[in-house]
Chain A
Amino acid sequence: MMIIFYIAAVVAVISTLLVITRTNVVHALLYLVVSLLSAAIIFFVMGAPFIAALEVIIYAGAIMVLFIFVIMMLNIGKQSQQQESQWLQPKTWIGPAILVLILFAEFIYLFISTTPDIIESAMVSPKDVGMALYGNYLLGVELSAMLLLTGIVGAYHLGHRTKKVVHRFLEEEKSV
């Protein structure tokens, strides 16, 4: 269990280091996904399986998809063609693939070696988390609901494209 934790920690540090040194945004996103997956492995080993699932679903799933959509929206025509051909070369995905294979080997090992006593000894079950979340922290849940509503409204307002209301002759003059 210790060695699993330390391997996942090394993978997390290496992939995070690679995130902040990449020049290409999509390469950095690949390494960021690897970093979040290794964090999920760490959470699972630490006895927080619910948080490990949330990390994979929300962080590595939803938030990364948001990033990818925005990068796709920002694509600049001619450069994207060249980048597209570069992305398909193996040297771009071989690094994340190796790091993910390490994590996958750990994942397989965790399933094969059934040592439930070690995992469950420190485990905080999802039921306890749910009871605490909707018991003591009910006010926090409602506040985070308001925060999410603010996030939705803010993102809609900021992402809304303002149409320029200019007379068409003035528009022509402006474009020249």
Chain B
Amino acid sequence: MMTIPLESGLILSGILFSLGLVGVLIRRNIIFILMSIEIMLNAAGMAFIFAGARWGQPDGQVMFVFILTMAAAEVSVGLALILQIYSKFKSLDADAASKMRG
């Protein structure tokens, strides 16, 4: 029987996570930053899935369900914040909102 080794799965999720991190660091559009955060959350959940499949336990999938719930709540609040920032600053640039003035 051939199963996927745990190392290659963890390397894949590490690559995806670092791509998301690079996306957060290099982009200044808020929507792109939010999408990169989604990529990172998905990669973290993928690591849970690989670890759960390695030992054949359902706990990894349960953790992925929790991450999915958290991502859904985070995206809804984040997109509402994007709408507010756009209506206030007329721009999606993250640097436009760098000053904390009410």
Contacts and interface: CB of A to CB of B under 8 A. Distances in A.
Contacts of A105: none
Given A48-B49, A147-B73, A54 B68 contact: yes
Given A59-B71, A131-B58, A137-B66, 9 more contacts: A2-B2, A13-B19, A20-B23, A51-B61, A66-B76, A74-B92, A124-B52, A133-B62, A158-B80
A128 B66 CA distance: 16
B49 to A, nearest CB: 5
A73 B84 CA distance: 12
- Prevailing SS type, chain A contact patch: helix
A79 B16 CA distance: 32
Interface string B62-87: 10111011111111110111111011
8 residue pairs, one from A and one from B, having the closest CB atoms: A151-B73, A20-B23, A158-B80, A159-B80, A155-B76, A144-B69, A132-B58, A128-B58
Interface of A: 1-2, 5-6, 9, 12-13, 16-17, 19-20, 25, 28-29, 32, 35-36, 39, 42-43, 45-48, 50-51, 54-55, 58-59, 62-63, 66-67, 70-71, 73-74, 117-118, 121-122, 124, 128-129, 131-133, 136-137, 140, 144, 147-148, 150-152, 154-159, 161
B: interface residue count bin: 35 or more
B23 A118 contact: no
B32 A28 contact: yes
B68 to A, nearest CB: 6
B77 A155 contact: yes
A59 B77 contact: no
Contacts of B100: none
A147 B70 contact: yes
A48 B50 CA distance: 10
A19 B58 CA distance: 31
Contacts of A147: 69-70, 73
A87 B9 CA distance: 35
22 contacts: A13-B12, A13-B16, A16-B16, A20-B20, A25-B32, A32-B39, A35-B42, A42-B12, A46-B4, A51-B49, A51-B61, A58-B68, A59-B68, A63-B72, A70-B79, A124-B53, A129-B61, A129-B62, A133-B62, A140-B66, A147-B69, A148-B69
